Chain A
Amino acid sequence: MSEKIKTVRGYHRNVTIVLGVILAIFLLIPTFVKNPYTLNVFILIFYMSTLSMAWNLLGGMTGQNSLGHAAYMGLGAYAASMLITKAHMNPWLSAVLGVIIVGLVAGVIFYPCFILKGPYFTLVSIAFGEALRQFIINSSFFGRASGIGLPFGRDSWLNFRFGSKEPYYYVGLAMVLLVYLIMKKIERSRMGYALRTIREDEDAAAAIGINPMKYKIMAVVVSAMVAGLVGFFYASYIRYIDPEMMVQAKSTESVLPAVVGGAAFVEGPLVGGLIMIPLSEFLRAKFSSILPGINMLMYAIVLLVVIRFRPAGILGWYDHSKFKTFIDTKILRKPPIEVIEEVEMMKQQGKEA
């Protein structure tokens, strides 16, 4: 018996070590990589993956395919930027307020839209995003099509503005980690089970006592708030926003990491983002001056190939691959699932006794 406990402990330790090493690598990257271009790519990976995680809560976990997430991101960026420039509020405070505003707008304005299902939901999400963008273009209060610039100045943590990329790198990394942990927590919670039950079948969900409308609203509010947070980060990093950031193509871009990585997994957007964004940026840097559009063309091809041949995404493929068996058994030394369950049971009985 103690043999089993030992193997399970060993496995958990190995997992912790591997995750720790990955985290350490990301923490150390700015120490070794000083090239601003490369750091920029990492920052892009961080915020695009976060945006994709936001989408994935609604799309992958709840099965509501939104194509309007760039609008939530834009809304967050605009709300925070307006508070900073017009109300002269501290950026951190305006981030919190901005995120709350996005959540409210998503929950209240979007509420009636949730009676729409399947493709109709997707359509309304596009129309919602586009309407919001058109509203901003037509509003002089929001700076119309010319956008809003954030003030420049000396480096300051208080004002969240820096000349170098390093601080943005660390804040971006913290944002990815925070949102990932939140998503992981949601997945394992009652809400996560409710959302996945709704994804599989709304009638089955209602039959076990889930109010589909309530949980869908919760999902859209959380999802929009995370997208709004990304919007704040984007605005602070680029220091200029305009309605272009809300065009529908941007919403599509936010979905790709999740679909390529595997929309059924919380980690999907991270894996997809780590692969797709460097690829896109590499192509952009290499070819965009010669052949504009080539990076998005390659992007589209990768997307089509993944959907056609690996419909569950990279993680969906990995989950059933020999590669995973190899990693689990040889590197992590994972014991059979029955053994893990048995040890967990024993631990609980030990606690109760």
Chain B
Amino acid sequence: MDIFLQACVNGLLMGGFYSLMGMGQNVIFGVMKIVNFCHGEMLMVGMYLTYMLNQVFGMDPYLCVPFVAIIMFGLGALIQHTLITPSLGTKSFTNLLFLTVGLGLLLSNGALVIFGSAYRTIPTSYARTNISLGMVNIPLPRLISFLVLIVISIALFIFLKKSTTGKQIRAVSQNPVGAEVVGINTKKIYVLTYGIGTALAGIAGSLLTGFYTIYPTAGASFGFRALIVVVVGGLGSIPGAFFAGIFLGLLETMVALFVSPSYSDLIVFVTFIVILVVRQLIILRRK
């Protein structure tokens, strides 16, 4: 029983990261209808940024989060402005797809060139501290990370729901032409959206460094899981992405517990294929 509970908690804690990644991907996909194939690499960049801030200034990884968020926002905005917005004009889905794929290659190999392939960690005094809650033990870094990302999720939800900018983002995602007509600067919204999306990925990366190793391809599995979260949680739905992420985290740990840890990837991918196909069948049936 306590193994099961422990697995649930672990799944929940990991799922939170998938949620955060999924939300970033969801905002970008919702607004521009493009799949951001370098989302996982953005997480990896966030990890290395945290690592550098820690190495150079001796900052605690959790203190780095706001700085990483700001830098990543700037990076995302720059990429959107110089690369993606001009290519949106060609209306070629293929080009947009391979633009983000190319960015992913650029970032992961850039990290390889700069930092090498060595696995890095950020040692902290509390890395081995466990919080005991009855039958389950929760490592302190994981708990802090989870709490921070819950706060960020709620903040994002409120921002999109209540603020003027958030409403503009939602307007553009529903009807870009209509939004333009009522005077919303869609290009500005695109820059903002991509910035927010990458900042969220960067935050996820930063929060991971407390207990995860840092290497150039660390983001890949998170990147793909973010896509699963978007599809399962529903387009444009922040709460949907949140729960889908948690679900995915739980699914993985349950498979690892009841079947075998080595099968968890296989089952995740097969489940995803089935969900994609069934979802489309339901859409076609409705027509």
Select B113's contact among A128, A297, A303, beta carbons within 8 Å: A297
**Proximity string of chain A (124-149) to chain B, C-beta cutoff 8 Å, 1 when within and 0 when not:** 10111011001101100000000000
Count how many chain A residues have C-beta atoms less than 8 Å from C-beta atoms of the other chain: 45
Select A134's contact among B102, B111, B269, B281, beta carbons within 8 Å: B269
- The verdict on A292 contacting chain B, using a C-beta distance below 8 Å, is yes
Describe B's contact surface by its main secondary structure. helix
Chain B residues lying within 8 Å of A131, measured Cβ to Cβ, are: 266, 269-270, 273
- The verdict on A263 contacting chain B, using a C-beta distance below 8 Å, is yes
Chain A residues lying within 8 Å of B140, measured Cβ to Cβ, are: none
Chain B residues lying within 8 Å of A137, measured Cβ to Cβ, are: 262
B98 touches A299 (CB 8 A): no
**Proximity string of chain B (96-124) to chain A, C-beta cutoff 8 Å, 1 when within and 0 when not:** 01110111011011111100110000000
Task: Give the complex CA separation of A108 and B26 in angstroms.
Answer: 32
Task: Give the complex CA separation of A59 and B277 in angstroms.
Answer: 20
Closest chain B CB from A118 CB (angstroms): 6
Select A113's contact among B34, B224, B227, B277, beta carbons within 8 Å: B277
B99 touches A304 (CB 8 A): yes
B110 touches A297 (CB 8 A): yes
B102 touches A128 (CB 8 A): no
B273 touches A128 (CB 8 A): yes
Task: Give the complex CA separation of A67 and B105 in angstroms.
Answer: 14
| Chain B residue, CB-CB nearest to A297 | B109
B106 touches A311 (CB 8 A): no
Chain A residues lying within 8 Å of B97, measured Cβ to Cβ, are: 65, 119, 122
Chain B positions 217-264 with a Cβ under 8 Å from a chain A Cβ: 220, 224, 227, 231, 262-263
A115 with B284, Cβ < 8 A, contacts A292-B117, A293-B113 known:
yes
Closest chain A CB from B285 CB (angstroms): 11
- The verdict on A351 contacting chain B, using a C-beta distance below 8 Å, is no
Chain B residues lying within 8 Å of A123, measured Cβ to Cβ, are: 35, 227, 231, 272, 276
B224 touches A300 (CB 8 A): no
- The verdict on B141 contacting chain A, using a C-beta distance below 8 Å, is no
A127 touches B98 (CB 8 A): no
- The verdict on A116 contacting chain B, using a C-beta distance below 8 Å, is yes
A63 touches B94 (CB 8 A): yes
| Chain B residue, CB-CB nearest to A126 | B224
A124 with B276, Cβ < 8 A, contacts A292-B112, A303-B98 known:
yes
- The verdict on B86 contacting chain A, using a C-beta distance below 8 Å, is yes
Chain A positions 242-256 with a Cβ under 8 Å from a chain B Cβ: 248-249, 252, 255-256
- The verdict on B159 contacting chain A, using a C-beta distance below 8 Å, is no
A127 touches B105 (CB 8 A): no
Task: Give the complex CA separation of A294 and B116 in angstroms.
Answer: 11
Chain A positions 46-84 with a Cβ under 8 Å from a chain B Cβ: 59-60, 63, 65, 67
Residue of A116, A300, A307 most packed against chain B (CB within 10 A):
A307
B281 touches A127 (CB 8 A): no
Closest chain B CB from A248 CB (angstroms): 7
- The verdict on B180 contacting chain A, using a C-beta distance below 8 Å, is no
A115 touches B231 (CB 8 A): no
A115 with B224, Cβ < 8 A, contacts A122-B35, A131-B269, A138-B262 known:
no
Chain B residues lying within 8 Å of A350, measured Cβ to Cβ, are: none
Chain A positions 130-186 with a Cβ under 8 Å from a chain B Cβ: 130-131, 134-135, 137-138
| Chain B residue, CB-CB nearest to A120 | B276
Task: Give the complex CA separation of A286 and B90 in angstroms.
Answer: 36
Closest chain B CB from A192 CB (angstroms): 18
Which 7 A/B pairs are nearest by Cβ-Cβ distance?
A293-B112, A300-B105, A134-B266, A300-B106, A131-B269, A303-B102, A293-B109
Q: Can you list 23 contacts pairing A with B, beta carbon distance less than 8 Å?
A: A60-B94, A113-B273, A116-B280, A120-B231, A123-B231, A123-B276, A124-B273, A124-B276, A127-B269, A252-B105, A255-B98, A259-B94, A291-B113, A293-B108, A297-B109, A299-B109, A300-B105, A300-B109, A303-B98, A303-B101, A307-B99, A308-B83, A311-B87
A residues neighboring B (CB under 8 Å): 59-60, 63, 65, 67, 112-113, 115-116, 118-120, 122-124, 126-128, 130-131, 134-135, 137-138, 248-249, 252, 255-256, 259, 263, 291-294, 296-297, 299-301, 303-304, 307-308, 311
